[in-house]
Chains A and B, each alone.
Chain A
Amino acid sequence: MRLGMVIDLDRCIGCRSCAVACKSHNAQPPGTWWNRVFTPGSTFHQAAVGKAGALQMNFLPVSCQMCDNPPCQKVCPTGATYTDERGVVLIDYERCIGCRYCFAACPYGVRQFNWEDPKKAKERVGYKEGYEYGYPVDFRDKEGRLVFTPDRPAGVAEKCTFCVQYTANGEEPACTRGCPGKVRIFGDLDDPNSEVSKLIGKRPSYRLKEELGTSPKVFYLAPTKPIR
């Protein structure tokens, strides 16, 4: 099994619901975003770019690309970053030593560091007392590695896990469920009959920074938006 995702850019409206769903389900502290949506070419989100009156506005959601050749995993000195049996790149929050080599290695800027105790960061922004968000309990993989915990320890790296706490039980990731436009399709790339495999075969797709040879398992269906 190789879990992957197809993101249909033709359907994306740039609403950032996926980023918000991701953020709240995974209890990310203020300033930390596992999932981002921007308007390529534009300084501001939702602002068109172009020249000579020919304007365009597309949106590009980016989270962990779940590379088959993940540089973050190769540089990790302790093996805290690893690929599980379903092809998902995960971080063991109990093994990460916080060296941040993976930040230098990742071409996609998806890795996020706990520069301070996330509880302190949450406290400081002044949420209502007792307010806590996100999946409330720890999740460990089959070998007992801590791959989700609502408040990550200070000084470790974190990133998108394809919502391991849900997808390990056959559910879909929060971004996929939270998308109002059904932009994201999640499934097994090894299964030729899965929707992801079919879409990649049928429609022109690309992966980010293909030239770096990281072989991401997140595929983008190019926005076609015929103008003529």
Chain B
Amino acid sequence: MKRSNILMGLAIVLILISLGAWGYQLHKGLIVTNMRNSFSWGLYIATFAFFVGVAAGGLIVSSSVYLFNIEKLKPFTRIASLSAFASILGAGAMIFPDMGRVERVWKIFVHPNFTSPLVWDVIVITAYLIITFLSVYVQLLPDWRKEGRGFFNNWTKKRSQEEIEVLSKKWSKRVALIGLPVAILIHTVTALIFATQGSRGWWNTAVMPPDFVSVAVASGTALVMVISLLTVGKEKFYQYEEAFQTMALIVAGALVVHFFFVTVDLLVHGWWGKPEANEILSLVFGRYGLLYATELLLPAFTMIFFFTKRGKGSFKTLMIGSILLFIGVFVHRMMLMFPAFNAIPLTLAIPGAGIESWAYPIALGQFSEGMPVFVNTWDYAPTLVEYAVALLPFGLVLFVVTAALRMYDFLPQKRVGKHLASKIEQAKAPKGIDFT
């Protein structure tokens, strides 16, 4: 069986499992998750934030080509745009199962409240979805014109192949340049959803938006690299070695910036020593210390590894580094939730009793025999249903990327002059994974 068939099958299975679980959740209510009143966002929002992050790669890679003239990356601008489109589609899809009344989502568009960062996130994510789609579209137009297929492209038939080539180049650049600020905005606004909340000490910091951007540049570029590596294949790795090394350096460089932000963030949280901040830091380093260590150590390893000649030098090392980074970044997104929700905002000092911080208990929203109703901490761990539902974006990204790669040519071979014949010949050349 062709590898792409297996991947398509896997994608469909993931999507079906997720939709099934979501159906069950719609029937029973969000009670089938382990979220409760005191811990009201969990795996879904973390997964959403993860996919917003990896969606950055597309426009980072394509705009580096145009802004900084990094010609080496040029062969991968199509894959980059595709990865961005698929990821932001996945991120957007993940939001829906988190809603208690998903059938009312249209109310956001009819009665938008513009003080809500969530409304702005809907706007920038929709914009990014359109821009990344256009980016893929304009880059594929010349191929479609040539091969007489594709969609929304009847208008190209009236024009010559050369005209379309020129148009494609011009608009690819334009879309990339318009897209870059929007790419930065999706991370900024997503971070602002959290960072604006004065009641949550763990989130309420101005360093969160720039840190989201740095993590996005790292993880987004890594995703483009992984898809590119799989498309190119081990055998042809050396043909594109320079491009991969450049991407590895972008990942490592962005991680340096990320760790800089993490350090100043922790220092500002900790230095003053107020009880609320101490409480958060004891959650981060104590109760969730293992997760936090994962979040720090895996990306730190990738950062150092990708700076070394060996780390960025082979197919295998780049894959390993990227996968470790993805795990680290996913844990990082989960760690948005744990310390934030388990530090109860209504925490009071009782000076007369010598108590510096006492958390006022919150009603869970569920009554069951033998379980307390009022809690000041909640051991959130996603339920099986939550894990199943959260497969949705993974399935969608896998589906969109695999389907697109097997339908169209996303890795145009290095150009030898402008002879169409030779290009067609090269487009037919065998690739690492048989996506045809």
By the criterion CB–CB under 8 Å, are A62 and B373 in contact?
Answer: no
Q: Which residues of A contact B1 (CB under 8 A)?
A: none
The chain B residue with its CB closest to the CB of A33 is B363
By the criterion CB–CB under 8 Å, are A116 and B28 in contact?
Answer: yes
By the criterion CB–CB under 8 Å, are B199 and A107 in contact?
Answer: yes
Q: A31-B365, A71-B199, A101-B116 are in contact. Are A41 and B358 (CB under 8 A)?
A: yes
Q: A78-B112, A101-B118, A113-B100 are in contact. Are A50 and B345 (CB under 8 A)?
A: no
Determine which residue in B113, B364, B365 has the highest number of CB atoms from chain A within 10 A of its CB, and name it: B365
By the criterion CB–CB under 8 Å, are A112 and B37 in contact?
Answer: yes
Q: Which residues of B contact A32 (CB under 8 A)?
A: 363, 365
> How long is the Cα–Cα vector from A125 to B367 in the complex, in angstroms?
8
Beta-carbon contacts under 8 Å, A50-64 to B: 50-51, 54, 56, 60, 62
Determine which residue in B111, B118, B346, B348 has the highest number of CB atoms from chain A within 10 A of its CB, and name it: B346
Beta-carbon contacts under 8 Å, A10-52 to B: 29-33, 36, 38, 40-41, 49-51
In this assembly, does B333 line the interface, its C-beta being within 8 Å of a C-beta of chain A? no
Interface 9-residue window, one of A1-9, A129-137, A187-195, A206-214? A206-214
Residues 107-129 of A, flagged 1 when their CB comes within 8 A of B and 0 if not, give 11101111111001100010000
In this assembly, does B31 line the interface, its C-beta being within 8 Å of a C-beta of chain A? yes
Q: Which residues of B contact A213 (CB under 8 A)?
A: 198
User: Of B41, B113, B198, which one neighbours A78 at CB under 8 angstroms?
Assistant: B113
> How long is the Cα–Cα vector from A103 to B37 in the complex, in angstroms?
7
Interface 9-residue window, one of B13-21, B142-150, B349-357, B426-434? B349-357
A56 to chain B, nearest CB (A): 5
> How long is the Cα–Cα vector from A97 to B363 in the complex, in angstroms?
21
> How long is the Cα–Cα vector from A216 to B115 in the complex, in angstroms?
19
Q: Which residues of B contact A80 (CB under 8 A)?
A: 107
In this assembly, does B361 line the interface, its C-beta being within 8 Å of a C-beta of chain A? yes
> How long is the Cα–Cα vector from A155 to B31 in the complex, in angstroms?
9
In this assembly, does B98 line the interface, its C-beta being within 8 Å of a C-beta of chain A? yes
Count of chain B residues near A, Cβ 8 A: 59
The chain A residue with its CB closest to the CB of B100 is A98
By the criterion CB–CB under 8 Å, are A115 and B353 in contact?
Answer: no
By the criterion CB–CB under 8 Å, are A76 and B373 in contact?
Answer: no
In this assembly, does B312 line the interface, its C-beta being within 8 Å of a C-beta of chain A? no
By the criterion CB–CB under 8 Å, are B348 and A40 in contact?
Answer: yes
B204 to chain A, nearest CB (A): 10
User: Of B98, B111, B354, which one neighbours A99 at CB under 8 angstroms?
Assistant: B98
In this assembly, does B277 line the interface, its C-beta being within 8 Å of a C-beta of chain A? no
B-contacting residues of A (Cβ < 8 Å)?
Answer: 29-33, 36, 38, 40-41, 49-51, 54, 56, 60, 62, 71, 74-80, 95-101, 103-109, 111-117, 120-121, 125, 153-157, 208-209, 212-213
A-B contacts, 26 listed (Cβ < 8 Å): A31-B363, A31-B367, A31-B368, A33-B363, A33-B374, A36-B363, A36-B374, A49-B353, A56-B353, A71-B198, A74-B116, A75-B115, A77-B122, A97-B99, A97-B105, A100-B40, A103-B37, A107-B346, A113-B30, A115-B29, A115-B33, A115-B366, A155-B29, A155-B100, A209-B345, A212-B199
- Which 4 pairs from chain A and chain B are nearest by CB? A98-B100, A155-B100, A30-B367, A116-B29
